[in-house]
């Protein structure tokens, strides 16, 4: 069971490393990819923590943030194409 917690911590550390790319990214597309990757990694960390703790509320939160992350990525892509 502790493997879930260790993996969740690793995902959080990887998401924190992506914050550098989000802040210093040379282009807007790099920043958008970093933000989407942070969203995916935080969702995975929430899922693993839900498995570790045995509470389903974290799965609901992960699902909601995944849907919002997808919508946000779609809006950023439309904006970068000039259609928004």
pLDDT at 14 over 90: yes
Percentage of the chain exceeding pLDDT 70: 99
- Residue range of the domain that includes 27: 2-81
Q: Confirm if 41 and 18 have CB atoms less than 8 A apart.
A: yes
Q: What is the pTM of this model?
A: 0.86
- pLDDT tens-digit readout, 49-63: 999 999 999 999 999
How many CA atoms lie less than 13 Å away from 81 in the CB half-sphere?
A: 8
Domain count, the chain: 1
| Band (28; pLDDT cuts 50, 70, 90) | confident
């Amino acid at each position: 069971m502790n493997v879930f917690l260790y993996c969740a911590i690793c995902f959080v550390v990887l998401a924190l490393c992506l914050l550098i790319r989000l802040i210093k990214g040379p282009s807007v597309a790099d920043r958008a990819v970093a933000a989407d990757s942070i969203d995916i990694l935080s969702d995975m960390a929430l899922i693993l923590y839900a498995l570790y703790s045995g509470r389903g509320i974290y799965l609901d939160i992960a699902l909601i943030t995944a849907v919002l992350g997808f919508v946000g990525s779609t809006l950023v892509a439309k904006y970068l194409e000039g259609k928004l």
